[in-house]
Chain A
Amino acid sequence: MAQVFHYSTNTLARASVVIALVLVGGGLWILLAIGRTSYITQQEVVREQPVPFSHSHHVGGLGIDCRYCHTSVENAAFANVPPTKTCMNCHSQIWTGAPMLEPVRSSFRTGESLEWTRVHDLPDYVYFNHSIHLKKGVGCETCHGRVDQMPLMFQQNSLLMEWCLDCHRNPQQYVRPREELFTMGYKPPNGNQAALGEKLVADYKIQSLTSCSVCHR
C-alpha cells in the first residue's frame, strides 16, 4: 500500500503544534494588552468638561489646598466635586465677565448643576474609600499624580486592579507622613523611602490587605 502522507507531513504536524500555541498565546497576550491600553483604562486621556477648569492654575499657581474644594475627602468614601458656590467664593469678584466662566455663573443663578464629566471612575463592583487611604498615609499625589501640573484633568494611573495591588501588597513603597498628604511634588527625606516606609507602616498600623472582599464586598 502506498503511503498516504508525504514525509514532510511530519514536519508540518510538528510545526502546526507550535503555530497553534503561538496563535493561542499571542491571542491571549493581545487581549491582555488591549485591556491595559489607555483606550480601555482612559489613562492620561483628557475629558471634555463644561468649563476648562485648570488644577494647574488653582493648585500650582494659586496654592489652594485640595480640601478647599474637595471638602469631604478626609471624612468620606467619596471626595466631593465642589458645589458651584465654592467657585463663586472667588469668581463673584474675579473674572466676573469671562465668557469661559458663564456656565459657572449660570449654574449659580439658576441653581442647576454644572454637569462635570467624572475623570476617576472605578467600576461599581469596587469599594473604595478616600478617608481611610488618607488616614493611612496615602497622599493625593500617589494616585492622582501631579495635579498641580495638569491644565486639564486626566487620570494619571491605570486604576487597574494590578495597580491597586501593587500598593496593597507593598504599602511601604508609597506611604508618606500625614503632614505631607496634600503636598504636590513630595520627596521622602534624603530620598530614603525604604526606611521611612517601614517606619510609617508600623506607626500607622498599615496592613497589607489583599483579600478579595476588602474591595469587592
Chain B
Amino acid sequence: MSRAAGLLLLALVSVGCRQDMHDQPKYSPLEKSGFFADRRASRPIPAGSVARGLLKDDTRFHTGMVNNRPITEMPVPVTAELLKRGQERFNIYCVPCHDATGSGEGMIVRRGMKRPTSYHTERLRTAPVGYFYDVITNGYGAMYDYSAQIEPADRWAIVAYIRVLQRAQSGTINDVPPDQVSSIKPAGGSL
C-alpha cells in the first residue's frame, strides 16, 4: 500500500517535470537546428524562387524604372488611404534619420549617422517618384536598402507621402481651406 502511494507520488512529481510537449520535435520560426550545417531551422530562400502571387512582373511597380530611367508617374492610384499608410510607414522606417518633416535631422543623425539630403532641396523636390522608390529598394550612399523591411506597395505609399512633405514646406496660407484658417493662425502673428 505505502509502496503504491510512493510510486504514485513519484509518478506525479516526475510527470510535472517532463518537457516533451513543451518542446516538441518540430521547428518554430528562426529556431536553432541541429540538422543543418548553418544551424538555421528557417532555411535561406534559394536564389530565383518566387513565392506564389509575388512574381515581380510589373517593372514599373517593382523597380520604379522604365529603360533604366525612374518613372515620373505613380504606378498606383494616390488616395487618402495611401497617404495615411505612407505617413504611418514613413514614421516607422524613415523618421529615425530623415525626421518627421524630411529635413534629415532625425535622431540617428544626431547620434552620428551621415546626414541624408533634405527632401526640400531643389534636387529632391524635382526628382521623379521612381527615384525615391529606387532608393528605398536599393539604398543610396550610407542608406542601406529597405527592400526586406518595406513591401513594394508600402514603398509607393511612402513615396506619395514624401511628396506630401515636400508640398507642405512650400505651402502658404492660401492653401488652407478658409474655414480652417482661424484654427492655425497664430494669435497676433502672421504666417
**Do A and B share a complex?**
yes
Chain A residues with a Cβ under 8 A of chain B: 31, 35, 62-65, 67-68, 71, 78, 80-81, 83, 85-86, 88-90, 92-94, 112-113, 115, 123-125
* Contact of B38 with A113 in the complex, beta carbons under 8 Å: yes
Cβ of B113: which chain A residues have Cβ within 8 Å of it?
Answer: 90, 93-94
User: How far does the alpha carbon of A139 sit from the alpha carbon of B22 in the complex, in Å?
Assistant: 26
Q: Kindly identify which residue among B16, B24, B32 contacts A124, using a CB–CB cutoff of 8 Å.
A: B24
Cβ of A124: which chain B residues have Cβ within 8 Å of it?
Answer: 21-24, 26, 28
User: How far does the alpha carbon of A63 sit from the alpha carbon of B22 in the complex, in Å?
Assistant: 35
The segment from B58-66, B67-75, B89-97 that touches chain A is: B89-97
* Contact of A62 with B21 in the complex, beta carbons under 8 Å: no
* Contact of A80 with B30 in the complex, beta carbons under 8 Å: yes
Cβ of B112: which chain A residues have Cβ within 8 Å of it?
Answer: 93-94
Of the A-B pairs whose beta carbons lie under 8 Å apart in the complex, a sample of 13, sorted by A's number, is A62-B96, A62-B107, A68-B93, A80-B30, A85-B144, A85-B148, A88-B144, A89-B144, A93-B113, A115-B39, A123-B22, A123-B23, A125-B24
* Contact of A113 with B39 in the complex, beta carbons under 8 Å: yes
Cβ of A94: which chain B residues have Cβ within 8 Å of it?
Answer: 108, 111-113
Query: How many A-B Cβ pairs are below 8 Å?
Result: 64
Query: Would you call B29 an interface residue if the criterion is a C-beta within 8 Å of the partner chain's C-beta atoms?
Result: yes
User: How far does the alpha carbon of A71 sit from the alpha carbon of B92 in the complex, in Å?
Assistant: 10
Proximity string of chain B (132-149) to chain A, C-beta cutoff 8 Å, 1 when within and 0 when not? 000000000011100011
Q: Which B7-57 residues have a C-beta within 8 angstroms of A?
A: 16, 21-24, 26, 28-30, 32, 38-40
CB of B41 to closest CB in A, whole Å: 10
Q: Kindly identify which residue among B24, B38, B92 contacts A68, using a CB–CB cutoff of 8 Å.
A: B92
CB of A124 to closest CB in B, whole Å: 4
* Contact of B108 with A125 in the complex, beta carbons under 8 Å: no
* Contact of A78 with B144 in the complex, beta carbons under 8 Å: no
Cβ of A35: which chain B residues have Cβ within 8 Å of it?
Answer: 16
Please, which residue of chain B has its CB at the minimum distance from the CB of A64?
A: B96
CB of A104 to closest CB in B, whole Å: 14
Query: Would you call B167 an interface residue if the criterion is a C-beta within 8 Å of the partner chain's C-beta atoms?
Result: no
Please, which residue of chain A has its CB at the minimum distance from the CB of B26?
A: A124
Closest 9 pairs between A and B when the two form their complex, measured CB to CB: A124-B24, A65-B92, A123-B22, A78-B29, A94-B112, A89-B144, A67-B92, A62-B107, A93-B113
Query: Would you call B114 an interface residue if the criterion is a C-beta within 8 Å of the partner chain's C-beta atoms?
Result: yes
Cβ of B32: which chain A residues have Cβ within 8 Å of it?
Answer: 115
* Contact of A68 with B142 in the complex, beta carbons under 8 Å: no
Please, which residue of chain A has its CB at the minimum distance from the CB of B112?
A: A94
CB of B123 to closest CB in A, whole Å: 22
User: How far does the alpha carbon of A94 sit from the alpha carbon of B144 in the complex, in Å?
Assistant: 13
Cβ of B143: which chain A residues have Cβ within 8 Å of it?
Answer: 89
